[in-house]
Amino acid sequence: MSPGEQQFVNAMGDTLATWNLPRATGRVYGYLLLRGDASSSERLRADLSLSSGAVSTAIRELVSWGLARTLPQPGSRRLLVEAAGGFEQLLAASHERIRTFIRTLQAAEQLTGDAHATRRLHEVMDLFRTYVEAGEEVLRGRGRA
């Protein structure tokens, strides 16, 4: 990989790590995004210097998030993997996590001790509701919501 490609792949690893995914998963996704063709597990291991377990876990996670798809090879048990668009699935998963967060905040409303705490709690909920609504608008604009 070129230095620019390495930088991008590592940045994707760091970015997806902030979503509580293994850094290797982000690196594999970044690598797949840069490729025009599907890659084998062996190629991913070699090009990214990852263990078999890390590559296998990364592929499973990316497929479960809708960020990659596996392609069976006729007459073989081997699978190739390629990046999927994934933006819609990633945003939808983010929205679901935030909705859970909002429900947790709502459950705390009765626990607030004064008007200031209640107001702050509502401001946080409003911020995250606005974020989800904006994201849903983006998805509708793409014909996916």
CA distances from 33 to 96, 131, 143 (A): 24, 26, 22
pTM above 0.85, yes or no: no
Residues pairing with 71 in the sheet: 80
Token pair recorded at residue 12: 């994707």
**What pLDDT does 90 receive?**
72
Between strands 79-83 and 39-40, the pairing is: antiparallel
In this predicted model, which residue has the larger pLDDT, 145 or 80?
80
pLDDT digits (tens, 9 = 90+) for 68-85: 889 988 887 888 999 986
34, 84 Cβ separation under 8 angstroms: no
Cα 49 to Cα 52: distance, rounded to the nearest angstrom: 10
Q: Could you give phi then psi for residue 68, rounded to 5 degrees?
A: -150, 165
